[in-house]
Amino acid sequence: MPEHNSTTELKTTTDQARLRLSSLENLDDLETWRLEVLGRHGLLTNLMKGIGDLPNEIRKEFGQIANQERANLENAYTNRLLELKNTPNDTSGVDVSLPGRLPVRGALHPITQVRRQILDVFTRLGFTTIEGPEVEADSYNFGKLRIPPDHPARDMWDTFWLDGSHLDEKILLRTHTSPMQIRYMESHPEPPIRIAVPGRCYRYEATDATHEWMLEQVELLVIDQGITLANLKGTLQEWARQMFGADRKIMMRHSYFPFVEPGVEVAIDCFDCDGSDRSCGICRGSGWLELLGAGMVHPEIIAEAGYDPDVYSGFAAGMGVERVAMVLQGVTDIRHYHDNRHPFLSQF
Ligand code: DAH
């Protein structure tokens, strides 16, 4: 018996639907297809609606074929659904089944971390943090700190001079944060003073593993009645304990800085060896590690600031943040800090 027209039409329609199904590329299109073909008002339902108008002899056959086609299409639908769920739904080459990439998170620069750590300790000890200019006048960087023009201390601090021809005196990138001692005293008619001054400094240096032409310092200045070397030692001892561990000891050795009298160099005991290991990366077997310069503020500087040196005394100290950071972070070349390489910086 030749196939009835309606049966042919049914097969053509379902064949086309099947063809369209295999070309669908994403789940949204698949859902649209499902509603159009298998849905309650879809293609198959519509075809079935006409079944009552068919001649008796083909009605049964038409019904059987239609049910068979529906079952086939539902199967095909389920298979395509599984395929699409398991393959990328995007033809641009993005494999959505790969684990996600975490966004890179920024962090504070290692020097910033250590500067904050240093200042946190001094803040707890009662110091106020202030900042000063990076471009400084000759007189503040040198003269008022008792470093006259021909003083040998200028040799290691000869630095980056700027064009100050429109000013009364020469200007430079400061070589240390000590000028803020003078600036602060000049603008504060009465002690007590207890300040910590962080900031960048610049030096005319041939760079090597322990010298950079730019460095950060933290300067301390305390002026009050009855301040002695014991206050200096106690303050730095407590700072060293909080920075490097409760067992740390400090040692003060005589040194010379024109703006303090006496001047000292301060070292902490090595926390890696007992001083017997000549290959120790921290102290090289000396047992001590130089950290900073300090001293009692020179009475002439106190007098120059307008305070009575018979009533007031004080101490000052200056430390390099990179130096402290190298010790804390086990970094052996200071140049790593500022050459801005992500593999180094991302370790901290
Ligand atoms: N300004 C000195 C330097 O850059 C460090 C220093 C030494 C600061 C002794 C001080 C001090 O306040 O008392 O090397």
311: domain CATH number is 3.30.930.10
> In the predicted model, is pLDDT for residue 310 greater than 90?
yes
Same domain? 144 vs 271:
yes
Å from CA of 252 to ligand 1 middle: 14
Same domain? 30 vs 114:
no
Q: Ligand 1 within 6 A of 14 CB?
A: no
| Structure tokens belonging to residue 137 | 């006048």
Show the domain range for 25.
5-85
To the nearest 10°, report the CA torsion of 259, 129, 225, 239: -80
Cα separation, 100 vs 98, whole angstroms: 6
Atom number in ligand 1 closest to CA 219? 12
> In the predicted model, is pLDDT for residue 1 greater than 50?
no
Q: Ligand 1 within 6 A of 136 CB?
A: no
Three-state DSSP state, 296: strand
Span 99-125, mean pLDDT? Answer: 94
DSSP string, 88-116: -S-TTS--TTSPPPPPPPP---HHHHHHH
Three-state DSSP state, 253: strand
Atom number in ligand 1 closest to CA 297? 13
- Quote the pLDDT of residue 56: 83
C-alpha distance from residue 121 to each of 25, 129, 238, 244, 330 (Å): 62, 11, 9, 11, 21
Å from CA of 178 to ligand 1 middle: 6
- Tell me the pLDDT tens digit for each residue of 21-33: 888 888 889 999 9
Higher confidence at residue 342 or residue 177?
A: 177
Q: Is residue 100 part of a domain?
A: no
170-205 b/e (C-beta count within 10 Å ≥ 16 → b): bbbbbbbbbbbbbbbbeeeeebebbbbbbbebbbee
Atom number in ligand 1 closest to CA 217? 4
Å from CA of 336 to ligand 1 middle: 24
Higher confidence at residue 73 or residue 50?
A: 73
- Tell me the pLDDT tens digit for each residue of 190-243: 999 999 999 999 998 889 998 999 999 999 999 999 999 999 999 999 999 999
From 147, 172, 178, 195, the mutation candidate for ligand 1 (largest count of ligand atoms within 8 A of CB) is 178
- Tell me the pLDDT tens digit for each residue of 142-165: 999 999 988 887 877 778 999 888
Higher confidence at residue 98 or residue 258?
A: 258
| Structure tokens belonging to residue 123 | 């803040």
Same domain? 156 vs 21:
no
Same domain? 246 vs 151:
yes
